[in-house]
Structures are given as C-alpha cells and as structure tokens.
Structure 1
Amino acid sequence: MPVPPSRYRDLMTRDLMLWALVALASKAPVAMAPLALVFLSRQSPGGYTLGAGLASAYVVGEVVGAPLLGARLVRGRARRQLAVGLVAGAVCFGALPLAGSAPAPVLVALAFLAGAAPAACPGGTRALLTRLVAEEAVPRALSVEATLTQVVWATTPGLVVVLALQLHPGAPLVLAGVLAVVAAFGLARLPEPGESPPTASSPPAVGRALLSGWPVYLTSAAAMAMLATAELVLPALLEERQVPVGWAGPLLAAFALVSAAGAFCYGLRSWPGSPRAQSLVFLLLTAGCLSLITVLPGVPGIALGLLLAGVFQSGAMITRNLSLREQLPGHTHAAAYSVMYAVGGVGYSLTASLSALALDRAGPSTAILGGVAVTLLATVVSALAEGRSARESHR
C-alpha cells in the first residue's frame, strides 16, 4: 500500500510543537547576539570598536564550537549535552552586562564562550527533528525549521534595538540568556529517539564520514556568502544611489520574511530532481537574482532582486540539509549539521572581509558581483565533486 503524502497538519503533534518552541528559543539568542553586543558596548569607552570585536568573538566561538561539540553528539545523550551547552551559553549572556566595566579580554572571552557553548544546538536540534518524524515527512519538517529560522532572523534585530534603547543596553543579552534556559528546559522534556549507530563506528570512521560531506558543506558556505553580500553591502549600495540608508532595515526584513514564505512553499509538495540537483539550481537562481540589484534602479528594483533571491535562498537551505542527510549515515547527522553550520559561518566571515575590501577598492555593485562570483565558484566546485562521487559509487 503506498504511503500517503505528509501534510503540514500531520506535524502538529505534541512533541513537534515542543520542538518548535525549543527551536525558536534556541535560535533567537543566535540572531540577537551580534547586534546586542554592539549595543552593549556602544556607550562604553571601547564604543563601536569594542562592540564589533565582541560580535566577532561570538561568531568565532560558534565556528569553533559547532564542529568540536557537534562531533560528540554521535555518542548519544544528545539532549543532555545540548541542554548543558545552552545553560552555559545563558550564563555567559547574563554575565556580559554585569561585566560591562571589566577589561576587554574578559568581555571577549565571555562573548567567545557564549557563542561556543551552545554552538552544537542548531545541528543537534535539526537531527532530533528528523528523527521525530516519519521518513516521508522529513522534507516538510525541514521546511518548517527553515521557516522558523527566517522568521526569527526577520524579527529579532528590531527587538534588540527596542530593548537596548528603551530599557537597558544589556537587556537583549539578558533576554537571550532567558531564552537559552527555556530551550534547555524544553529539550529535557523532548523524547530522544534511538539512532541505532553501527557497532564499528570508531572516531576515525566518524571523522572520515564527516569529511566525505565536504561538497555539501561548500554549498553552505556559498549560501552564506550570498547572505553576507546582501546584508553588508546593501547600505553602501543605497547610499551610492542616493536612497536613504534607513531602507536597509525594511529590505532585509522583507528578504527574511520572503525566505520564510519560500521555505513554507517548498514543503507544500514534492519537487522533481534529487535534493543535490535542487540545491545547485536554487543556489544558481539565488546568485542570479542577487546580481539583479546591481542593475535594477531605485528601491523597487533592489527590492525585486532581494525578494526573488530570498525565495530561492530558502530552497537552497532546505535542500542542502536533505543532501547531507542522504549522503552520510544517520549516526553522524547531528555532527555533520554542526560542521555545515560552522563552514557556513566561515563562508559568511570570509565574504564579509572580501566585501569590505571590494568596497574600499571599487564600489558596492562590484562588491555584490564579487560575492556572487564566490558563490558561483563554490557551487561549481561542489557540483563537480558530487558528480564525481556519484559516478564512483555506481562503479
């Protein structure tokens, strides 16, 4: 008897609703932290320079912590490990406002630990989600996760600004700590389905399995390269075209919300082609739409390019997760998602540096096209590597 297709309402079980609460509460601190650290330091002697350094330390902590802590999740007790990481991150979030007058190295260390301690959570919760649903419902469940992610990234920057300016500069970080504790409590109440790891899963074997997913990790770096280009170069592009820079906020919020809508639409039906092929197509479409903002005039032209890029970017996000899930054994999924998260952070940071260099040497349009070129290069390399791997597996 054929299995009936899954629907979104089939996902509305108690466990999955609790998982959604955990996902929202754990993603919000990640989205809030960099901007919150900037506002925390804005009126201190270090000013914006210290704030940028703390935000960088937080991101570096995520990049370092995600693969190191994510690799431990293959050994079981994932919920407990994730909860401990969230609580440790909450302590660091709460300590930062209290240590406002401490020397800069102390603040940098706290920011690093706030990023590193819960860094395995995005990958761990994603792996937990895919084990809470039936196999045929996994694409739809990942669409829900992508939708939640984009909604969080669209709404939290405004929340940070309001709390920091209207309440206290440290209020966003306190809220981030509270949300991390809520997520840890929710994780403790979720079931942890068995993974049935193979008996001979030695650390070297796990390491080799994780390394074999590098073409998919590269697509994550490519996707984050485009996100960095859109976020960081947009204000300069608006200024160059004599458009008020205040448009950057609404445009980026619309980009995130349209990405959420695109993720939801992806899960409404099955799409032709393998997840690997879909991911490459979505990346190419996103790059093409993003390049449109360099030639389309005014706010309407920029908005059109960004909104189209947002729709396809969410598809790339979902399909690269599905590709990784297909390629690697189940007991490595949590670690692999964490590695992919870290590689995406590296792609964002490198593209941010290249964009800054391009802005100094050329201009916003050149910087955007440079980010698109980086994305296309990474996509081509990933496609060639995955095609070669597929041919070798069929011999």
Structure 2
Amino acid sequence: MTGEDAPMGLRRFRAVFADRRVRWAAAGAVTGRLAQTIMPLALLLAGQKRLHDFAAAGAVVAMYALVSAVGAPAVGRLIDRWGVRALVGFAAISGAATVGLATSRTATGMIGFAAVAGVSTPPLGASLRAVVVRVLPQPIQAAALSLDSVATEVLFIVGPTVAGVAAAIAAPSVALFGCAALMLLGAVVFIPSAAGGSPHTAQAGRRPLPSVAVLARLLPVLAMTTALTFTIGVIEVSVTARAAEWQSIESAGALLGFWALGSVVGGLIYGSRDWPGSPRGHALLLLPAMGLGFAALALAGNVAAMYPLMVLAGLGVAPALTNLARLVASQAPAGRDTEAFAWFGASTALGGAAGVAVAGAVVDRWSAGAGLVTAATLTVATTVLVPVLRSKSAPGGAPKVTAPR
C-alpha cells in the first residue's frame, strides 16, 4: 500500500483493524492496560485502608511504579525472544502478586508483592506497538499509533474512575482482584496476534545486540520522550495548583479533562491522513507548537478562560507522543521492537513521575504560573534533540518510518 492508495479520514482508522492480528492485539492490550491504570489508585486506597498511613501506602505505589518502568525493557526483550505467548506467563506472575497485595496486611508484605507485581507486568502496550509496526503497511502505522495514544488518554481517565467506584461500592481489594483478572485476560486475548510469525524470527542466525546497545541507539528519542512527559506531569500539577489559587480546586478535574479532550481530537486529526515530511520534521513543528499552547495557559485570568486554552494546549499532546513512537520504530533494531517500545514506555512513566514531583516543588516555592512557564520552556527546548536523531536506522535495523507523499 502506497501513500496514494491509503484511505483517508475515518476509513484510515478502519483500515487499522482490517488485519485480525491487530484486532486481537488491540483488544488484549486495552484489557490488560485497563488493569494497569486501575492499579495505582487501587493500591493507594488499599494501602491506606490496611496500613492507616498514606506515607506507607504511597511507598507501595512508588515501588510498583518504579519497578514496572525499570523492568519493562528486560521483559520486552524476553517477549521479542520467546514470542507473545510469554505474555501469559508474566501476567500470571504479576496477577498472583496482585492477589498477594489484595490480601497482605503489612507494609513489608505489600511493598514486596508490589515489587513482584511491577517487575513482571506484561508490556502489552509495547507489544501492541510492535505488532503494529510489524504487520501494518507504513501509511497506516501512524493512524494505528495515533489510536493507541488516544486509547491511552481514555484509559488514564477510566482506570482511576473504576478504581474509585470499586473502592466505594465494595473495597479496594476488589479492584486489585479485578486487576489480576483483567491482566491475565488481556494477555490471553493477545495470543492470536502471533499468527503468521513471531517478532524474534528476524534475528535468527544473528548474534543479538546487547540491551545497552539498543538503549544507546534509542537514547536521543528516549531523552525527548522523558522531557516531553516531564512537562506533561508539570502541567497536571500546575493546572491543579492554578485552580486552587483561584479558589476553585473542584474545577481541576474538569480542566484536565478538557486537556485530554484536546489531545484526543489532535490525535485523531494527526492519524487521519498523510502529512508532508518525516517524523523528524514533524517533531520540529509539534514540540514548539505544544510549548506555545502550554505558555498560553499562563495567560488565563480565571477558570472560564482556562477551558478553551486547555483544549488548545492538548491538541499537540497525542500527535507528539504518536510521532515519538514512530521515531522509536525507525530507530529500533530488527527483532527488538517490543524491547524498544518498552524503553519508550519506561521513559514515559519516569518522565511523568519526575514532572509531578518537580512541579510540586516549583509550585510551592513560586507559583502555578512558574510551573506552566517551566513546562512551556522545556517543551520548546526539547527540539534541540531532534537533529541528534539518526536519519535512518543502522544496518540490520528497522526500516525508516516516513510519511508517504
């Protein structure tokens, strides 16, 4: 399929699911990732209820988040080597540890189970992206990755909501039991995506690159990802703090919801057609545009003025993350797509967490406006990393992903 033959608009998104392997992978990934978005709040609520201490509960959540991010690339490499069926094994281990979390009564026990559950979390998002770049023609890949970014936005809204409702109606442990079941179900549903070949067959007969070499190849785009998601974390805290400054803390959730809405709209627009240029060229446009959108948030004088600006500021988020995923695909060595996207996911998680932590200090010391300006400045500054990206993959790497013309 060439750029001229590729469908446009909504038909392009329908074309994403024409391949049954993508349909199974998407269904499994959404199911399992729903569990992963429920987990943090469910863990916090369960920890507070069991330990009667938010600090201890926060330590449990931090352990889970940290080891999930750090362990994902290693698990991704094993998935590339063994195939997607190994996802079920990791899901079973993580699910069993999650059941342990739901029943443990001590801080030590909960932290230990959190570590096991996190490090064995199946990288379903990375595996889905690997399936996309492996089986879909290039003109459709951007649409698929855009849908993935949009789905991520939705899941991060739905997941905490489900956790809160389950805790209110039943108990936090019920949400954790549900997470274990959803994670295992998602891995099982993912298996048919392996039909017709396994991602690791591309490496047959070759000495595999060590993970440090994969990391070195991806380092520039991972640095961009970390910086961008850092700014997203800063925006989340700064917008909440700005609402508090206006004596309207209850509006913070709605403001962030409008931001997510803008991101969803932008992601659908970006994935609906071919855009001139390469992903590198798109990054040079998207990052400054995002920075300007973030800077505009600092100009709002009240909550009402903030709502349309939040939509505007969100328009570039999903396209930028989609573009970064395309850059990861273009830099990944052959047969190491899942590991590469697991590094991408780890960078996303660590960048966002660091942004939230730093923004808290900035807002406390200065103001919410200072946080907004910091996010805008860093987003624009990230463009200096674009020229460092490889113009094409090294020998034996994945083909360069470019926008068809």
Q: How high is the TM-score relative to the length of structure 2?
A: 0.88
What is the alpha-carbon distance in structure 1 between the residues aligned to residue 263 and residue 238 of structure 2? 19
Tell me what 2:224 maps to: 219
Tell me what 1:277 maps to: 281
AA at the equivalent of 1:311? L
Percent identity for Structure 1 against Structure 2: 21
Q: In structure 2, do the counterparts of structure 1 residues 93 and 392 end up closer, same or farther at CA, with 3 Å as the change threshold?
A: closer
Contact 1:225 1:375 in 2 (8 A): no
**Unmatched 5+ residue regions in structure 1?**
none
What is the alpha-carbon distance in structure 2 between the residues aligned to residue 141 and residue 339 of structure 1? 19
Contact 2:294 2:375 in 1 (8 A): no
| Alignment RMSD (CA, Å) | 2.4
Residues 1:96 and 2:101 aligned together: yes
2:49 to 43, 48, 63: 43
SS in 2 for 1:330: coil
Superposed, which structure 2 residues align to 1:47-66 within 5 Å? 47-66=53-72
AA at the equivalent of 2:240? P
Deviation at 1:314? 0.3
Deviation at 1:47? 2.5
Q: In structure 2, do the counterparts of structure 1 residues 201 and 371 end up closer, same or farther at CA, with 3 Å as the change threshold?
A: farther
Superposed, which structure 2 residues align to 1:1-395 within 5 Å? 4-6=5-7, 7-13=12-18, 14-75=20-81, 77-99=82-104, 101-102=105-106, 104-118=107-121, 120-192=123-195, 193-195=197-199, 196-198=201-203, 201-204=206-209, 207-243=212-248, 245-380=249-384, 382-386=385-389, 389-390=390-391
Deviation at 1:117? 0.9
Q: How high is the TM-score relative to the length of structure 1?
A: 0.90
What is the alpha-carbon distance in structure 1 between the residues aligned to residue 112 and residue 211 of structure 2? 30
Contact 2:60 2:111 in 1 (8 A): yes
Contact 1:65 1:120 in 2 (8 A): no
List per-residue Cα deviations over 1:247-279 (Å, max 9, x = no partner). 122222332233223222211111122112212
Contact 1:143 1:318 in 2 (8 A): yes
Q: In structure 2, do the counterparts of structure 1 residues 98 and 366 end up closer, same or farther at CA, with 3 Å as the change threshold?
A: same
Deviation at 1:375? 3.2
**Unmatched 5+ residue regions in structure 2?**
395-405
What is the alpha-carbon distance in structure 2 between the residues aligned to residue 161 and residue 141 of structure 1? 30
AA at the equivalent of 1:303? Y
List per-residue Cα deviations over 1:146-167 (Å, max 9, x = no partner). 2221121122222221111122
AA at the equivalent of 2:351? G
AA at the equivalent of 1:225? F
What is the alpha-carbon distance in structure 2 between the residues aligned to residue 391 and residue 313 of structure 1? 25
Deviation at 1:135? 3.0
Contact 1:87 1:181 in 2 (8 A): yes
What is the alpha-carbon distance in structure 2 between the residues aligned to residue 166 and residue 356 of structure 1? 32
What is the alpha-carbon distance in structure 1 between the residues aligned to residue 45 and residue 237 of structure 2? 18
Bigger shift: 1-10 or 225-234? 1-10
